[in-house]
Every structure is written in structure tokens, then in C-alpha cells.
Amino acid sequence: MAIFSLDEDIARLTVNGSCALIDSEDDDFEQETSGEIWHKNLLSVGPQPEQPSSQVHLSIPSSSPLNISKERRRSSIYDKMSVVTPPNTRRVQMTQAEPMGTGCTCSTATLGKHGPRVLEDFTPIRVLGRGAYGKVLLVKDSHTNRLFAMKQLKKAEILIHDESSMFESEEYALEKKLERTFAERTILSKLEHPNIVKLFYTFHDHHQLYLVLQFIPGGELFYHLKEQGVLDEDTVAFYAAEISSAIKFLHQRGIVYRDLKPENCLLDERGHLVLTDFGLSKKSASDPASQTDGIELQEGEPVETLYSIIGTPEYCAPEILDGKPYTQNCDWYSLGCLVYDMLTGKPPYTGPNHKVILNKILKDKGPRIPTFSSEGMKDFLGSLLRKDVLKRWDVDRLWAVDGPKPKKKKAGQAKTTSFQSHFIFRKIDWTKLESGELQKTTNGPILPIITNWELAENFDTEFTNMRLDSAGGCIDPKQEVKPEHAHLFQGFSYVASSSYLERHF
């Protein structure tokens, strides 16, 4: 019998280049190769002939936009700094009620369609991404057949105390983790902007928290930068305008984003940018709890002084890394880093580890602006990438109006002209952009190729090829949530109104 079994295996063997694939019929078959999980190739392909290698070595100037290291496009999703929060910071009280969203008036007949959700209401399709606390899945609602992105956070990972936090007690560290966990749900449930991701449902079970978000099929800006290398200035200016509109919208509502980077910028089906992942965002504690989305803070008003050392070093403002107090102006420095990245193929400062990056940022006078950029782009980057906050462009105050002109121009002075009227935005219709009309009626510079939304073609195959049962790993019995911790997650559940759902589908 062993001989016949071997013959059958050989008959199923397919040669693919320099390796052999066995079309196994066993669904549980799994093999590890070079530390990566082997997965079955469901589409059999014929052998591909090897092409003779003929390499041509070209000498490219270091200042050229073509001189890009392919190794640099490594995601920083796993490289966030451990959060250091001083013990004297202000705290936000968590509401213990289980709200039903903003005006959810679902009738009994449509309760199954628009009512609260549980995990069993969604069918997982494929993995979209994975981070330190959990993963993001593409799921389908069994009631409406709509596609969503489901962000899953492990409760046990949130409750575990990080021993490296020398300056924080276990109770205080847990309080801050819970505050950041609730921040994304609290902030997104009150926002509606064309360039900010939409939140539709949140719920939780014994092991995990779930945020059901709008599925953005165009994938991460990081993915497109990895494919294209660099972007032209008109494309960079277009996406910088959309990001700026979202950031200004957040600042007007007392919210600091604090985690702007290519991985958190998605492209929708029309090629417009959508900001996502608000896990590190901070809402002003001075903002009254009763304040609604329609009441805005005064133009240019600082969002309380913050102290937490938080974010991704390559895109982080120097004052955060240096442990100094900071305000919402840190987001505009991060915008400068992202624009620099889109133009050159890498952020202003890179290095093999956090220590090297921090030393470069804190010791250098400022990043080197690429010489191949236009004068307008050099001026834009130079005004945002200032280490000294007092010399950095105060975009919130000078969003649409010019400031007072200095009597004498001095080198290194902060820019005093309007942000919207800058030369690089000469092709941007700000009225249509901020109203959302531009996003609904036109296509962006990068139009993602989408043949089937369920295939998630614009997401990295590192994630989309993962087996669903291996994406999250097994739950460690030692990391079970204790009964005395169950009350900590009360108030997390949420469901958007039926009108909100219909408006965005």
C-alpha cells in the first residue's frame, strides 16, 4: 500500500521553476520553510523557464529620485516605541454605559439588518493585516452581505503589564492602555469626514474586542509606495492636501492624531486617501463630555499640552522623542515626513534600530531636503520639518489666512503665509475637497486595480495569503481574562445609526 501511496504523491507533483509543489488534498497539511508558513497554491501554474540573467549596472547620482533602496520599504507596523507616560498627565473618565450610537432608531423589522452585532454575524474572508495587539480581517455581514474590515484586539494583551515601564505602576499603566483602547472607538464614533475611515459597529466577547470598520479596497499607501518607489510632485501635493484636510478636521475637534505614516493611509476605490488607525490618538481632556461633533474648538487653539512619548520614530516630531511637552503641531511635522517619504522613497531619518534614528533626529539640525525637488516643494518641506516648534509652520492658525508679515526677514523664521494658498496646492480645489464633492466625483492620481473586492488585491500578500486559522494564533490559557477584569471593558459596544450606514453604502 505504501508503494501505491508514493506513486499517487508523485503523480500530483508539479514542477514550478526550481522547486516542487505537491497538490495536497489534506486541508490540515502545513509545512514551515525558512520561518514562514507554507500555504497551498490553489491555482496550479505550469513550469516557468528560467531567463538568463543579464544585469546592467548604471551609475545613478545619489540625489536622483531613482536612487532608491528597495530594502527600505519595510513596514514600521511592528516598530512602534513603547509608550512612556508621565504620572502627572490628565485622565479621561470612561463611560460605563453601553451606548447604541448616534440616534440608532431601528424598527423591529429591520433590527437584524441594522441592529447590534456579534462575532457570529460575520464571515471571515481573508487577513488584511496584523499588529502587536491583534489583526484585521476582511469580513462579510451575513445579514446584508456587506464587506467590512474587522479589527480584533486581544484583551489579554491589553491587560498584561509591560515590565519595561519603570516609571509607571501596574494600575496606572493599565488605566492608560484602557484609555487608548477606548480612544479609537470613542473618537471614530463621533467623526464623519470623507478622508477618515468610518466606524459602524463595536462589540466584545470574553477574549477580544472587535471594531467593524469601513473596508477601503485600495490598500495602504505603503503598499503603493513599495510598488512605485516614488511619486511625482502633483500626486504628492494631492495626497498631502487630503491628509491635511483630515488632520485639520481632527484638530478643530480637539484630537491629536500622533501616528501619521504610510501604513495608516489607505486608498479607496477611486484613489482618494482615507486616514485610519486611531489607536494612538488623543482627545482633549479639557473638551467637555457633552460637546458634540457640531461644536468646534476655536481656530488654532492648542489641544492641551501632551507628554506621552508615543508613535513611530521615523515619522515622529523631535519634541516627542526628546520628552518635551507638545501640542497638535506635532502632526504637521509628521505630515512633512510623509511628504518627504512619498517624494524620495524613504522618511527623512532611517536606521537599523530606534536608538540610531533617535540620535540622528535629535543631533541633526534638520533633514536634507532633496535637491531634485521644485523650489515650491523645498519651501513646503523646509517650513514643516523644523525641529524648533516656534520656527515651524503654525498650520492650524494659518490654515486659510496669512499672518502678520515680519518687518525684517531673518533666516529660519517661521512661515507666516496661508497653508491652503501655498504654491504646491495651486491645482487643489479646497472647497470641493473639504465638502467631499471632489472625492465623490473625481478619481485620485493613483487608481487601484480592483477586479473583486473580496480578493483584497491591493493588500500585501504576506497577509492576504495567510490561513485564517493561523493569523491570530492559539489563545494561551495563562492569558485568559480574569473575571475581576470583565468590568473594565464595559461601555465598548456601539452601533451606528441606520441612516449613517445607508449614507456610506
| Sign of the alpha-carbon torsion through 224, 226, 232, 233 | positive
- CA–CA gap between residue 160 and residue 261 (Å, rounded): 27
- CA–CA gap between residue 371 and residue 226 (Å, rounded): 22
Q: Cα–chain-centroid distance for residue 215?
A: 13
261 is in an annotated binding site: no
The string of DSSP letters for 482-503 reads: PGGGGGGGTT--EE--HHHHHH
- CA–CA gap between residue 153 and residue 181 (Å, rounded): 9
The string of DSSP letters for 228-256 reads: HS---HHHHHHHHHHHHHHHHHHHHTTEE
> Which phi and psi (to 5°) does residue 405 adopt?
-80, 135
The string of DSSP letters for 158-177 reads: HHS--TT-TTS-HHHHHHHH
Asked if residues 428 and 442 have their Cβ atoms less than 8 Å apart, the reply is no
From the candidates 23, 79, 121, 259, give the one annotated as an active-site residue.
Answer: 259
- CA–CA gap between residue 369 and residue 381 (Å, rounded): 7
> Which phi and psi (to 5°) does residue 177 adopt?
-65, -40
Residue 259 appears among annotated catalytic residues? yes
- CA–CA gap between residue 465 and residue 472 (Å, rounded): 14
- CA–CA gap between residue 186 and residue 259 (Å, rounded): 17
Strand partners, 152: 135, 210
Coil, helix or strand for 51?
A: coil
Show which residues are catalytic.
259
Annotated binding site for ATP: which residue ranges? 151
